[in-house]
């Protein structure tokens, strides 16, 4: 690959064109420069499935710890000093910002809230939330899937799991959007980091107050359980507890919002597959896995190098960042037959949309349950569901996510 064409390709990685349709560019990188140093992103970009499997499994080299707080390190000292709260927030370890043995400890505490048995018991409540939202829009015959369904369903569900009052849900969603805005590039603009820091300044005292309230008056929610553990001694420090709760609240709905929006859009864009799912509802589990593969909700995740490593003939140095481009891995022809075809009957679908190994998404059972209920209910209740805009708008403010900003439909 010539240097000039490589530079042109690299420049595209931070454009609107790439956010709207990343697959042609990712395909070219995977074929011609699969372990690619990106000047535009300030990091290594990985596009092969097998390379990403290595980065998931080998946490001794490819680390979760410290991967987010370091985005301010490129700034000169006088600018970096502006982000003291930001750096301090990401300094303590938490579930998705740690490696074993700390990660093992966090996961043991959190995973019991998302077991298949617990999730199954939540299905009636999830169905109620979905029905309430569809009742509100059904008389008009129109809705924006993102605004009216894909955002409020998972936000409401995760808020109830954590014991956040429903009156606070909209505020919580705004904080989450602002906190996530800096992720996905290694050198975000200072104004973007300021936005994330402002949200952290606001949410941290809210979370501290919520934790203290749950200690005084524990209820059947995850914050109460984690707060009780913290009060017992050395299992969780207060800093770890605050960081973990914020991280889980913020991350606990975003993937599902993407799954719901992307899944409905993909079905509507493939009417033969949508009709097949209507005719054979038993295909819902494999359909959801194919939605996750075809339009992976998380577009990219960073790993921080703990030590030098060789990959694809390249030397990756300690302290550098590696981006796992998950939507490239999930369309790798070395693993998936005819990868650009959406096929809800696809077998042996070993996608990486939820990660793998010790970092497999703890909330995956919940996301799958919410997807199953939303898709099934829409297909039953909204006959004639169709797009009113053939090219809906993709979210441009969150480079780490593959997410629609709007999805207008009629029925």
- Is 90 exceeded by the pLDDT of residue 34? yes
Distance CA 156, CA 162 (A): 10
- Mean pLDDT, residues 150-169: 89
Q: Strands 321-325 and 386-387, how do they pair?
A: unpaired
pLDDT band for position 47 (cuts 50, 70, 90): very high
For the beta sheet containing 408-410, the strands, ordered from the edge strand earlier in sequence to the opposite edge, are 142-144, 408-410, 386-387
In this structure, are residues 25 and 5 in contact, taking their beta carbons and an 8 Å threshold? no
Distance CA 216, CA 188 (A): 40
Instruction: Identify the bridge partners of residue 63 per DSSP, sorted by sequence position.
Output: 304
What pLDDT shows up at residue 231? 54
- Is 50 exceeded by the pLDDT of residue 219? yes
- Is 90 exceeded by the pLDDT of residue 193? yes
CA angle 196, 405, 276 (to 5 degrees): 135
What pLDDT shows up at residue 228? 80
Mean pLDDT of the chain: 91
- Is 50 exceeded by the pLDDT of residue 46? yes
The pair of three-digit structure tokens given for residue 274, joined into one six-digit string: 């949508």
- Is 90 exceeded by the pLDDT of residue 101? no
Q: What DSSP line would sit under 317-349, residue for residue?
A: PTT-EEEEEHHHHTT-TTTSSSTTS--TT--S-
- Is 70 exceeded by the pLDDT of residue 164? yes
- Mean pLDDT, residues 10-38: 94
Among 87-96, 166-175, 291-300, the range of highest mean pLDDT: 291-300
Classified as helix, coil or strand, 222 is helix
Residue 319 CA: distances (Å) to CA of 73, 98, 121, 173, 311: 11, 16, 44, 32, 15
In which element (H, E) is residue 305 found?
strand 300-305
Distance CA 390, CA 165 (A): 37
Between 208 and 114, whose confidence is greater? Answer: 208
DSSP conformational letter for 382: -
- Mean pLDDT, residues 326-353: 97
What pLDDT shows up at residue 112? 77
What pLDDT shows up at residue 360? 92
Distance CA 90, CA 18 (A): 29
Query: 């200072």: which residue's tokens?
Result: 190
Which domains, and CATH codes, for the chain? 3-410 (1.10.630.10)
What pLDDT shows up at residue 216? 92
What pLDDT shows up at residue 1? 43
In this structure, are residues 47 and 26 in contact, taking their beta carbons and an 8 Å threshold? yes
What pLDDT shows up at residue 57? 95
- Is 50 exceeded by the pLDDT of residue 153? yes
Distance CA 258, CA 325 (A): 16
Reported residue count of the chain is 411
Q: Which of 77-81, 156-160, 244-248, 391-395 has the lowest mean pLDDT?
A: 244-248
What pLDDT shows up at residue 3? 58
């Amino acid at each position: 690959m010539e240097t000039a064409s490589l530079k042109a390709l690299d420049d595209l990685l931070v454009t609107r064109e790439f956010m709207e349709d990343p697959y042609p560019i990712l395909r070219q990188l995977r074929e011609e420069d699969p372990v690619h140093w990106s000047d535009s992103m300030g990091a290594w970009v990985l596009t092969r499935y097998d390379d990403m499997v290595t980065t998931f499994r080998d946490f001794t080299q490819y680390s979760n710890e410290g991967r987010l707080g370091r985005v301010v390190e490129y700034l000169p000292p006088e600018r970096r000093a502006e982000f003291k709260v930001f750096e301090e927030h990401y300094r303590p370890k938490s579930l998705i910002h740690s490696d074993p043995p700390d990660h093992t400890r966090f996961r043991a505490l959190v995973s019991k809230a998302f077991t298949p048995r617990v999730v199954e018991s939540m299905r009636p409540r999830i169905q109620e939330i979905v029905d309430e939202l569809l009742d509100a829009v059904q008389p008009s015959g129109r809705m924006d899937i993102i605004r009216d369904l894909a955002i409020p369903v998972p936000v409401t569900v995760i808020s109830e799991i954590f014991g956040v009052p429903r009156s606070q849900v909209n505020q919580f969603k705004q904080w989450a959007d602002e906190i996530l805005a800096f992720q996905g590039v290694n050198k975000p603009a200072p104004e973007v980091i300021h936005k994330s820091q402002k949200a952290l300044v606001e949410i941290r005292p809210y979370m501290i107050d919520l934790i203290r309230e749950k200690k005084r008056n524990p209820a059947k929610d995850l914050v109460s359980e984690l707060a009780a553990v913290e009060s017992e001694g050395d299992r969780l420090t207060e800093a770890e507890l605050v960081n973990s709760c914020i991280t889980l609240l913020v991350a606990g709905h975003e993937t599902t919002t993407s799954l719901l929006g992307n899944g409905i859009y993909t079905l509507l864009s493939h009417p033969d597959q949508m009709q097949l799912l209507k005719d054979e509802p038993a295909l819902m589990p494999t359909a959801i896995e194919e939605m996750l593969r075809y339009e992976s909700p998380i577009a990219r995740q960073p790993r921080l190098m703990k030590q030098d490593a060789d990959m694809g003939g390249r030397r990756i140095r300690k302290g550098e960042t590696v981006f796992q481009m998950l939507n490239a891995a999930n369309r790798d022809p070395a693993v998936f037959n005819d990868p650009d075809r959406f096929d809800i009957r696809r077998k042996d679908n070993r996608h990486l949309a939820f990660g793998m190994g010790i970092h497999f998404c703890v909330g995956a059972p919940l996301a799958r349950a919410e997807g199953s209920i939303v898709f099934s209910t829409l297909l039953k209740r909204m006959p004639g569901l169709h797009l009113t805009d053939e090219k809906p708008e993709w979210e441009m403010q969150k480079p780490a996510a593959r997410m629609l900003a709007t999805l207008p439909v009629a029925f």
